[in-house]
A and B are shown apart, each in its own frame.
Chain A
Amino acid sequence: MRVALCGNPNVGKTTLFNQLTGLRQRVANFPGVTVERKAGTLAGAPHVEVVDLPGTYSLTPRSIDERIAYEVLVGRLEKEPDVVVCVLDAGNLERNLYVVTQVIDLGLPVIVALNMMDVAEENGLAVDASALENDLGVPVVPITASRGEGIDELKKCILNPPEPAQVYRWQLMDAVDAKIPALIKRLAEEAPHVKPMHLRMEVLRALAEEEALDAWRLGAPEFVNRIEALQEEFAKRGIAWRHAEVSGRYAWIGPIAQRASRRVSGPATLSDRIDAVFTHRVAGPLCFLLILVCVFEAVFSWAIPAMDLIEAGVAALAGIVHSVLPAGWVTDLLTDGIVIGVGNVVVFLPQILLLFFFLGIMEDSGYMARSAFIMDRLMKRVGLSGGSVLPLLSSYACAIPGIMAARTLDSERDRLITIMVAPLMSCSARLPVYTLFIAAFLPTGKLLGVFGYQGLAMFSMYMMGTIMAFVAAAILKRLVFKGPASYFVMELPPYRRPRLRQLFWRMYQRSKVFAVRAGKIILGCSIALWFLASFPRTEISPEATQIEELAIQERNREYAAAQALAPGRDLTVATDSLLLVDSTLANALDLTARADAKYTAALDSANIIRQSTQIRESAIGHLGRILEPVMQPLGFDWKISAGLVSAFAAREVIVSTLGIIYSVGDAEGGVALRDALKADKYPDGRPVFTPLVAMSLLVFFVFALQCMSTLAIARRETNTWRWPMVMWLYMTVLAYLASLLVYQGGLLLGFS
């Protein structure tokens, strides 16, 4: 047996779902779309499956979420449910009942769960469930899902489902109603696959909705003709046929809602008083800004240390594996390919978790809708709506949660555009790159004695990305995602206190989606890149071998000298007590210790040189040289090009790659690497890195999409490789052109 939970957004469906199923639930996707299908078994009745449907205001779908809910209910996506539980907000019966009347008409057993009884009571609203039950003709169970009240009664009701309704209880205006039976007959003849119970709904929809009518044009042309003739006739007679169904339903609902709920006390709810501040002309935007600052402060001050810790942990793990397993390329693959690859996935988790935490609070509390309300005016200018604000702002920390947060957008077009431009917002992974090159190549002085050049440069990186995101959105809207003008009709739900348990549970589920689904792709890419950087193998490096040989000779010489100091003594074992009594021995031991240290240092540098040779001779090194002619107009030599190739997987990798290529053994981008970069010269003596080259590279990083995690999550959220590919292409072209402009323009203006 299958039970579907349906109802308006934000009425507590998911809360009820969690109450009904406990943690016995599975999250998957509905086939072909990114809408989550949350299913679980009823606690205490394992044969009953409960499905949490996306929120919907009506069964005439206007977003993918609504389409999914609709298609499940009419049995188009999977077998239709055996029972439908319609969840209502007791504080807002009229609008909530609209979709209930539509579901009842589908001819399925319907139970109404009258949720948020606690809020209704607090707001001085007396809701009479039995009056509602009488009027609607279906069982009504009052519940408070967040406290688990009424759940048992609801379960009992689900296990003894009512009979489906047999009659339509609401009245269509007579002039329209008279024409319906003939149309139903016509459609039944032309489209025999439509279930008899759905015929009336299909006819009414075809009458009111352009798109619905168009959908029949091929399958039932005569039906379409008749509808169009009828529309003309109605228009001539001045009958408002377009409103007929909605008006009829609301005419029935209005009195029912009035009988069932009675306002006992005054009208200004707590929610309204909160709104007086949060959407206030002055205080509103200020609060929004303040909340953003706090969220970002928290994300950066909590996530960055955690990320550093994870990176250190991953490096330590790789070190341990290295020391335990025999040396060889298989071990290298394991450590540098797989462990680091897994690290690349895990390292994003602190930011993702934190952002999901704050986004979750905003979503559950109802603030998300207010932020859209405040920002819509500004976002409309670039062709987006207010709903895109939070996904885009989250992308400053990390594009991944930003892209996932775009799910809250109603319009599929806005969602795609938001996903496509989110990676242009400078994420935190760009920061190490910005820091390295700005610190190395920009002057430390101050403009007008106030603004440091370096800080200004950093700020302009962020501005460039943001402005370009808006420009790209406007262009995409005009050229790629064309279509009828969208509209903005959004509920401002009452403020509610978020429940931590539910919040954490969703954080966990969303992060799992990232770690598991995107993780596979990321791991694959990491391994592939490791192969590119490690093959073909160059085991021999004359320079390194020479250093090693010299080091051995040197050590032998110093050992011999030490032995001469203390003839006949064993210098390989030493204890502190001996040191105290015998100063010559102590000196000899001191000498050997210093010789050992020098030897180890020499081996290290030989090793770094070997790595450097390896990457120079590897596929990535070759790619860098192949790309050099293409990249030269941007001011990049083969080393930077190789670094860019290696940074395809993750931007920050360029820092460690350059570290290896320049043999400074410094993966952190510290002073040693900075100096090495500044000292590097072309054969003709020109420096490889000039401030202009650094600017060009920085601009490249602002625009280029070098993050396979973003591509992987975009693939998941759009369900096709097409959009991630387009995204990668347009951003790469953009990056190339912008760098070209900066470098060539800079040269023309006489900079170097």
Chain B
Amino acid sequence: MTLRDLRPGESGTILGFEPSAAINRLMEMGMVPGSQVHVVRLAPFGDPIDLKVRDYHLSIRKSEAALIRISRQEG
């Protein structure tokens, strides 16, 4: 599954990426394989997403979220 499939309030662990120009920037911002992401909320019009990564808020579009493979964290 990808980050796009997470609903607000859910968390996941990054497994890997689909190739894209955005990936290197995402990794530099702290989203490396193994790190945790929490979906805080969607923007009022449904896109982009507000994520919590390494204890700060990062906003990416759903199209980018779809490039990030994750495993959902239960609980």
Chain A nearest CB, measured from B33 CB (Å) = 6
Name the interface residues of B1-57: CB closer than 8 Å to any CB of A: 16, 20-30, 32-35, 41-48, 50, 53-57
| Chain B, residue nearest A58 (CB) | B28
Q: Which one of A241-249, A327-335, A356-364 contacts B?
A: A241-249
CA–CA, A380 to B32, complex, Å? Answer: 27
Q: Which of B28, B42, B56, B60 contacts A488 (CB 8 A)?
A: B60
Task: Tell me whether B55 and A92 are in contact (CB under 8 A).
Answer: yes
Nearest B-chain residue to A95, judged by Cβ: B30
Kindly provide the distance from the CB of A276 to the nearest chain B CB, expressed in whole angstroms: 8
A374-B64 in contact (CB<8A): no
User: Judging by beta carbons under 8 Å apart, are A378 and B35 in contact?
Assistant: no
Q: Does B71 contact A (CB under 8 A)?
A: no
Contact status B24-A284, CB under 8 Å? no
Q: In the complex, are the beta carbons of A250 and B24 less than 8 A apart?
A: no
Q: Are A487 and B48 in contact (CB under 8 A)?
A: no
Contact B59 A373 (CB under 8 A): yes
Q: Is the CB of A377 within 8 A of B48?
A: yes
Given A488-B59, A492-B59, residue A94 in contact with residue B30 (CB < 8 A): yes
**Could you tell me if A246 and B32 are in contact, using CB atoms closer than 8 angstroms?**
yes
Docked-complex contact B56 and A92, CB < 8 angstroms: yes
Q: What is the CA–CA distance of A479 and B55 in the complex, to the nearest angstrom?
A: 41
Q: Could you tell me how many residues of chain B have their Cβ less than 8 Å away from some Cβ of chain A?
A: 35
Which of these, A57, A92, A250, A378, contacts B32 with CB under 8 Å?
A: A250
B61 touches A487 (CB 8 A): yes
Asked if A281 is at the interface (CB within 8 A of a chain B CB), the reply is yes
Q: Number of contacts between A and B (CB, 8 Å)?
A: 116
Known: A58-B28, A240-B33, A243-B33. A485 touches B60 (CB 8 A): no
Is A246 within 8 A of B44, CB to CB?
A: no
The verdict on A485 contacting B21 (CB below 8 Å), with A95-B29, A246-B32, A376-B48 known, is: yes
Q: Size range of the interface on A?
A: 35 or more
Q: Please tell me if the beta carbons of A94 and B21 are within 8 angstroms of each other in the complex.
A: no
The distance from the CB of A244 to the nearest CB of chain B, in whole angstroms, is: 10
The answer, yes or no, to whether A475 is at the interface (CB within 8 Å) is: no
Chain A residues with CB under 8 A of B24: 60, 208-209, 242, 246
Which residues in A have their C-beta under 8 angstroms from that of B30? 94-95, 98, 250
Closest residue of chain B to A484, judged by CB? B21
Known: A487-B22, A489-B29. A374 touches B55 (CB 8 A): no
The smallest C-beta distance from B54 to any residue of chain A, in angstroms, reads 4
Q: Given A487-B22, A487-B61, do A492 and B28 touch, yes or no (CB 8 Å)?
A: no
Q: Are B60 and A489 in contact (CB-based, < 8 A)? A: yes
Chain A residues positioned under 8 Å from B58 (CB to CB): 489-492
Which residues does chain B contribute within 8 Å of A378, judged by CB atoms? 45
| Contact yes or no, A247 B59, CB < 8 A | no
- B55 contacts A242, C-beta separation under 8 Å: no
CA distance A484 to B20 in the complex (A): 10
Give the docked Cα–Cα distance between A208 and B47 (Å). Answer: 29
* Contact yes or no, B41 A279, CB < 8 A: yes
B57 touches A491 (CB 8 A): yes
Q: Which of A98, A208, A285, A373 contacts B48 (CB 8 A)?
A: A373
Give CA–CA (A95, B56) in the complex, Å: 8
Inter-chain contact B29/A491, CB cutoff 8 Å: yes
User: Does A448 count as interface, using CB distance less than 8 angstroms?
Assistant: no
Q: Which of A79-95 contact B (CB under 8 A)?
A: 91-92, 94-95
Contact A376 B61, CB 8 Å, known A95-B54, A247-B33, A250-B35 = yes
Nearest residue (CB) in A for B46 is A377
> Would you call A94 and B48 a contact (CB within 8 A)?
no
Chain B residues within 8 Å of A490, by CB = 48, 58-60
**Smallest CB separation, B36 vs chain A (Å):** 11
A369 to B59, CA, bound (A): 9
| Cα distance, A376 to B29, chains bound together (Å) | 20
- The proximity string for A residues 91-122 relative to B, scoring 1 for CB distances below 8 Å and 0 otherwise, is 11011001000000000000000000000000
Cα separation A92 to B26 with both chains bound (whole Å): 16
B47 adjacent to A94 (CB under 8 Å): no
Q: Chain B's nearest CB lies how many Å from the CB of A97?
A: 10
Check B28–A57 contact: CB distance below 8 A.
yes
CA distance A209 to B23 in the complex (A): 10
Given the known interface contacts A246-B24, A376-B61, A489-B26, the answer about A279 and B35 at a Cβ–Cβ threshold of 8 Å is no
Q: How long is the Cα–Cα vector from A1 to B20 in the complex, in angstroms? A: 42
CA distance A487 to B29 in the complex (A): 14
Which chain A residues in 341-381 approach chain B with CB under 8 Å? 369, 373-374, 376-378, 380
Question: Does the CB pair A282–B44 fall under 8 Å?
Answer: yes
Q: With the chains together, A281 CA to B16 CA distance in Å?
A: 31
A380 cross-chain contacts in B, Cβ below 8 A:
47, 61
Tell me whether A489 and B64 are in contact (CB under 8 A). yes
Among candidates A62, A374, A487, A494, residue contacting B20 with C-beta atoms closer than 8 Å = A487
CB distance from A175 to the nearest CB of B (A): 15
In the assembled complex, the CB of A86 is this many whole angstroms from the nearest CB of chain B, namely 15
Q: Is A517 an interface residue (CB 8 A)?
A: no
Set of chain B residues within 8 Å of A485, measured between Cβ atoms? 21
- For A369, A484, A489, the residue with the greatest tally of chain B CB atoms inside 10 Å of its CB is A489
On A, residues with C-beta under 8 Å from B are 57-58, 60, 62, 91-92, 94-95, 98, 208-209, 240, 242-243, 246-247, 250, 275, 279-282, 284-285, 369, 373-374, 376-378, 380, 386, 484-485, 487-494
A-B contact sample (13 more), CB < 8 A, given A57-B29, A488-B59: A95-B54, A240-B33, A250-B30, A250-B35, A282-B44, A285-B44, A374-B44, A376-B47, A488-B48, A488-B61, A490-B60, A491-B58, A492-B58
9 nearest CB pairs, A to B: A487-B22, A377-B45, A492-B57, A246-B27, A94-B54, A58-B28, A284-B44, A377-B47, A92-B56
